């Protein structure tokens, strides 16, 4: 399915195509977003998956699964490393954060997403240019909406696989969504055009 969908349809979906993820990244997927709906996925080349094949919730737990088609000419293979191309492991971690942020918004979390950290990260494999498919499997351990502060938080444990073989494990990856922090008038200077420590 492609084209704009309603917010109700968005929350009822259990999978999303590449075209829909791109539309979400550009703020064009949901045609009737509520006022608090400000989140975006990164646009390419930083969008680290091509499709979400599964997203579900069970109480404050859930699951989200996505896939990336490996491309021999991907930007990171051109520079990391010259003569020894390998996808940076940090991009696999970022993919997990991207997916957890999407999960928050899909569950109804307000505002825009920000990575908050992770527990232990183990790398015991690699992604090379002639591999085929990277799969991200995330078990959501806890999702919470903090209505008083206009935020949501999610914690998940992830496995990253390439062509069916597990190569990374990420425990307690954490993402939140927050209201009142988005910087929608980039590149103009405005209230949120500078970074630094966020209010706690």
Give the active site residue among 36, 80, 130, 192.
80
Query: Tokens representing 87?
Result: 């996808």
pLDDT single digits (tens) 96-129: 999 999 999 999 999 999 999 999 999 999 999 9
**Please, how many CA atoms are within 13 Å of residue 115, restricted to the half-sphere of its CB?**
16
Q: Look at residue 58 and tell me whether its pLDDT is greater than 80.
A: yes
Domains of the chain, earliest start first: 7-178 (3.10.129.10)
pLDDT single digits (tens) 41-52: 999 999 999 999
Query: Tokens representing 113?
Result: 């997403």
CA distance 160 to 166: 6
Query: With contact defined as beta carbons under 8 Å apart, do 175 and 115 qualify?
Result: yes
Burial of 184 (0-12, 13-18, 19+ CB in 10 A): exposed
- Counting residues of the chain whose pLDDT is more than 70, the rounded percentage is 98
Burial of 48 (0-12, 13-18, 19+ CB in 10 A): buried
pLDDT single digits (tens) 168-178: 999 999 999 99
Query: With contact defined as beta carbons under 8 Å apart, do 98 and 110 qualify?
Result: no
Closest alpha carbon to 178 in 147, 156, 157? 147
Active site residue 36: no
Amino acid 147: pLDDT: 78
Contacts (Cβ under 8 Å, ≥6 apart) of 153: 104, 116, 142, 143, 144, 146, 174, 175, 176
pTM: 0.96
pLDDT single digits (tens) 65-93: 999 999 999 999 999 999 999 999 999 99
């Amino acid at each position: 399915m492609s084209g704009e969908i309603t917010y109700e349809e968005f929350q009822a979906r259990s999978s999303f195509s590449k075209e829909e993820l791109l539309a979400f990244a550009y703020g064009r997927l949901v045609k009737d977003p509520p006022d608090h709906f400000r989140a975006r996925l990164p646009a390419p080349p930083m969008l680290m998956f091509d499709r979400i094949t599964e997203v579900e919730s069970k109480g404050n737990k859930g699951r989200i699964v996505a896939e990336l088609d490996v491309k021999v000419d991907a930007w990171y293979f051109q520079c990391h490393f010259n003569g020894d191309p390998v996808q940076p492991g940090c991009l696999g971690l970022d993919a997990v954060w991207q997916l957890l942020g999407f999960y928050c918004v899909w569950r109804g979390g307000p505002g825009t997403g920000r990575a908050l950290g992770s527990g232990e990260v183990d790398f015991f494999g690699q992604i090379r240019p002639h591999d085929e498919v990277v799969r991200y499997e995330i078990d959501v351990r806890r999702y919470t909406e903090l209505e008083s502060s206009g935020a949501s938080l999610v914690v998940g444990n992830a496995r990253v696989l390439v062509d069916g073989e597990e190569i990374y494990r990420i425990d307690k990856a954490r993402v939140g969504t927050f209201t009142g922090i988005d910087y929608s008038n980039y590149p103009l200077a405005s209230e949120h055009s500078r970074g630094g420590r966020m209010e706690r």
